[in-house]
């Protein structure tokens, strides 16, 4: 495809205005945003004016009916990812859908089937893998320096970081708490570096004690504790068909030091602690000639915005006719793992993981 892509936005909230739209605006020679849709017309109009978008609507089906639109970003609350995505794919549009792909694995399955049937590209907006640390580690691992990664610890933890805006504390619209909101990022980051092995089973536990406590401060702002229906902390143990294991911890509220977002990889040749961002984000632990070394790479790529990079990768994949940079199947795997962890917390047993579609 050699023409400039025509882009539509379904949802014009913070993630659209702050991440997707600047991404498209960064490559005006490759794409043009032509329509913005939101159930809140005022929000859609404001976003459209900011980015010079000509058309505004409150009905996404009206947007999808435009034959000139090649691709859309779906940046609605989680509960409203599935249907607009499926409808867009069936209308012949490529889709960049915000994370998590869906509320659960069943919804994600339907979205992956729609992508396969339509032949259009479905990408999940998991931007962390487009950052410098991920790019460095992917090359480092591909070159065999870590050996086989058989175990990983994935942390997405906040001491007091409950989002007080949007629907982040509403399970009916969000699907879950930190596990599905920020745990999705660190788990994708980890599995991406491990080559996305096939998960087979998981056990987990969630808690909601701190999130409901009105006496506890929240650094990110106050919210109605009576409306908190998600977990505030989740922990899981995930097994894969190649024998690897990942432990996952994710919190909005935890009595701990700092707000770590990192994965620790244990390989047969070396190990690594990799943070998603910040100074000195990669540390390598290696033995050479029976001596132990801690290595701090000095040439980790600098990426100004991983959000912008993911949008640019989406557009490039469409124009080049290439595969999805973050395929829907990966989003399905993540949703299936979360389903198993949530169920395990209720049953007290290890639960099987089904990511087929």
pLDDT (tens, 9 = 90+) of the chain, 357 residues, equals 458 999 999 999 999 999 999 999 999 999 999 999 999 999 999 999 999 999 999 999 999 999 999 999 999 999 999 999 999 999 999 999 999 999 999 999 999 999 999 999 999 999 999 999 999 999 999 999 999 999 999 999 999 999 999 899 999 999 999 999 999 999 999 999 999 999 999 999 999 999 999 999 999 999 999 999 999 999 999 999 999 999 999 999 999 999 999 999 999 999 999 999 999 999 999 999 999 999 999 999 999 999 999 999 999 999 999 999 999 999 999 999 999 999 999 999 999 999 999
- Answer yes or no: do 78 and 145 share one domain: no
Domain annotation covers residue 316: yes
Domain annotation covers residue 352: no
Domain count across the chain = 2
Asked if residues 339 and 107 have their Cβ atoms less than 8 Å apart, the reply is no
- Answer yes or no: do 88 and 208 share one domain: no
Domain annotation covers residue 354: no
Domain annotation covers residue 332: no
- Answer yes or no: do 101 and 138 share one domain: no
Q: Please state, as a whole number, how many other Cβ atoms lie within 10 Å of the Cβ of residue 186.
A: 26
- Answer yes or no: do 198 and 265 share one domain: yes
We report the CATH number of the domain holding residue 265 as: 3.30.360.10
For residue 10, the enclosing domain spans 5-128+307-324
- Answer yes or no: do 136 and 157 share one domain: yes
- Answer yes or no: do 216 and 289 share one domain: yes
E-strand stretches of 75-157: 94-98, 122-125, 149-156
**What is the CA angle 87-90-96, rounded to 5?**
65
- Answer yes or no: do 82 and 224 share one domain: no
- Answer yes or no: do 153 and 31 share one domain: no
């Amino acid at each position: 495809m050699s023409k400039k892509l025509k882009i539509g936005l379904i949802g014009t909230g913070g993630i659209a205005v702050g991440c997707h739209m600047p991404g498209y605006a960064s490559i005006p020679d490759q794409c043009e945003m032509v329509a913005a849709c939101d159930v809140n017309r005022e929000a859609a109009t404001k976003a459209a004016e900011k980015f010079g978008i000509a058309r505004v609507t409150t009905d996404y089906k009206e947007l999808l009916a435009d034959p000139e639109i090649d691709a859309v970003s779906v940046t609605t609350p989680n509960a409203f990812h599935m249907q607009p995505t499926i409808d867009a794919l069936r209308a012949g549009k490529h889709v960049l859908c915000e994370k998590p792909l869906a509320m659960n694995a069943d919804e994600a399955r339907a979205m992956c089937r729609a992508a396969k049937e339509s032949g259009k590209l479905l990408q999940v907006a998991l931007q962390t893998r487009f950052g410098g640390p991920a790019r460095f580690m992917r090359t480092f691992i591909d070159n065999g320096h870590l050996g086989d990664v058989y175990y990983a610890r994935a942390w997405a933890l906040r001491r007091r970081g409950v989002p007080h805006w949007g629907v982040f504390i509403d399970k009916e619209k969000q699907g879950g708490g930190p596990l599905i909101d920020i745990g999705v990022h660190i788990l994708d980051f980890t599995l991406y570096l491990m080559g996305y092995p096939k998960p087979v089973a998981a056990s987990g536990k969630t808690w909601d004690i701190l999130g409901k406590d009105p006496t506890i401060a929240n650094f990110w702002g106050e919210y109605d504790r009576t409306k908190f229906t998600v977990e505030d902390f989740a922990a899981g143990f995930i097994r894969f068909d190649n024998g690897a294991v990942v432990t996952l911890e994710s919190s909005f509220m935890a009595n701990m030091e700092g707000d770590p977002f990192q994965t620790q990889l244990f390989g047969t040749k070396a190990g690594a602690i990799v943070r998603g961002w910040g100074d000195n984000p990669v540390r390598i632990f290696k033995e050479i000639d029976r001596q132990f070394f801690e290595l701090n790479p000095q040439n980790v790529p600098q990426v100004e915005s991983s959000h912008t990079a993911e949008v640019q990768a989406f557009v490039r994949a469409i124009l080049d006719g290439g595969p999805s940079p973050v395929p829907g199947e990966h989003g399905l795997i993540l949703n299936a793992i979360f389903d198993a962890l949530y169920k395990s917390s209720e049953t007290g047993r290890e639960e099987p993981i089904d990511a087929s579609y």
